[in-house]
Structures are given as C-alpha cells and as structure tokens.
Amino acid sequence: MTSRTPLAVAASAGACALALGVAAPAMAEPEQAQDKAMVSVFHGIPGMTVDVYANGDELLSDFKPGTVTDPQSLDAGTYDIQIFQAGQGPDGAPALEKEVKVPEGGNATLAAHLSANGEPQLTAYTDNVSQPDAGKARLTVRHVAAAPAVDVRAGGQPLFTGLTNPGQDTATVDAGTVNTDVVLAGTDTVAIGPADVNLKEGTSSVVYAWGSAEDKNLALATQTFDSTGTKSPTSHAGTAVSPNSAAQWSAWAAAAGAVTLTGALVSRRVVGRRG
C-alpha cells in the first residue's frame, strides 16, 4: 500500500476490523417525480470525522466514518461540494472539492472513500431498488477500501471474484441470513469478516468493504432498500447521520446526487451480474 493522506488517519484495528454498520431500510418510490432524484451518502474514509459544505454553506457536520444517510428526495441543480476535516472549514483547504450537476430522476449513492492506493476520492453508484422475485433478495458488494482485489464468499463459497476498487458486483440470491467474508482474490486469506448479513425477501442490500488494509481497519457497512412497500423497523447497529435541517439536507443531497447519477467526477469500473 502507498501513502497515508491527511484523511487516512489510522483507526483502532480492534474497533473497526469486523464492524458491520446497518442503515435503516429505505422505501423505494415508484412514482418519483422526474425533476427529483433519491440520493444517499456513504462515508468510508476511516479515522476522520468530516464536515460537508455546498456553495460555501455547511450542510453536514460531524459525519462519521462507516455511516450512510437515508435516501432523500432532491431538486436538480449545480453545486460546489467541499469536504473538510471536522472543524477546519470553510477557510482551510478542503480534503475533497468538486462541482457537480444534478440531473432529473434516478436512485443513487455517493461514496466518499479511499482509492486502492489510499487516496480520498468520491465514487458514484446507481442503486437498483426494483423488487426482486418472490423469495429472493438482491445483494450488491462495493469495494471502496485501500486494498487489493478481493473475492466475496457466502457460506464459504465464492459469490463475487476479482473485485477491485471502486468496482461493484450484484447478484439475486435466496432471502435469508448469509454468513459472508471477504478474502484476498484467489486465496483463503480472510481480509474482513466473517459477518452475518440479513437479506430480507424483496429488499436490495449493498455491502461496502471499506477502510485500509495497511492501517488494519478494514470493515463492512450495509445499506438496505426495501422494495416491498412495507416499512421495516429502524436498526440501531449503525447510525444514519443527518444534516442540520431539512433545507440543508435537500441542498446537500442535490449536490451529492449529481455525482452519483452522471458519473461526472469519477471513472468507475462496474462488474455486473445485474439482479
């Protein structure tokens, strides 16, 4: 592994090594207005709490690693996004800064994470929130860690192989609790896990492999979209961080969503078995 950036501050290996953060399941919106988009934000840069600014205004404060926000409806627009170490904005130098444009429609997640070489970056992902077949669930794994290629196993058997940062892979599987782990590609060397992932019927779950192999704080975080039309109880295993007000959420989500839906800020390699 290469450099440690100002954001790649080492976190406690014991605290993070097998963490599994679960956000509250999110309801799909089949009648979503075309001038809107649904956007979530995942913070996967270890050891650093951040503040987020859009067009010079603070929109999200004390956003902690390993957390993912619930999807929020947003308006189209163009915003200048700046991400600072907590308490260092807006006069200091941002760790990340991008101008983004929000298109109409879509469901997406913006991930702030480390590249394979340990550099902070933003990656855009489109979220498939359509309902799987009866008895099935959709599982997506996103490699957003400073780590080499990995295989993802379910019940000890390879499910996704050769996944590289910032790639993702998707499969439709039988609903139920799945014991998963992440191993170095082509080996049985466990990098993360094992951990149980509850794949409820009719849901789409996204598992993020995040952190830094060099700093020994690799971890998992999970995001779930409920397409069944039935609200699920909130899980307290992970915390979804919210901005300071509804108006700020709307502006922040809009700024984040542009990257997710257009891919304007990043090039991404998506390895897909679409479910």
Buried b / exposed e over 130-143, threshold 16 CB at 10 Å, is ebbeeebbbbbbbb
Q: In what order do the strands lie in the sheet with 96-102?
A: 57-63, 50-54, 77-85, 96-102
Rg (CA), the chain: 17
Domain membership flag for residue 133: yes
Rounded CA separation 240/232 (Å): 15
In the predicted structure, residue 243 carries a pLDDT above the cut 50: no
Domain membership flag for residue 64: yes
Which residues, in sequence order, are bridge partners of residue 74? Answer: 37
Domain membership flag for residue 274: no
User: Which region, left, alpha or beta, applies to residue 52 given φ > 0 means left and ψ of -120 to 50 means alpha?
Assistant: beta
Nearest to 210 by CA among 138, 142, 139: 142
Domain membership flag for residue 270: no
Note the pTM of the prediction, 2 decimals: 0.72
**Count of domains for the chain:** 1
Q: How far is residue 77 CA from its own chain's centroid? A: 22
Domain membership flag for residue 184: yes
> How do residues 56-110 score in pLDDT, each as one tens digit?
878 778 989 999 988 877 765 666 778 899 998 888 888 888 776 656 777 778 7
Domain membership flag for residue 252: yes
- Residues spanned by the domain of 41: 16-262
> How do residues 178-225 score in pLDDT, each as one tens digit?
999 999 999 999 999 999 999 999 999 999 999 999 999 999 999 999
Domain membership flag for residue 6: no
Domain membership flag for residue 273: no
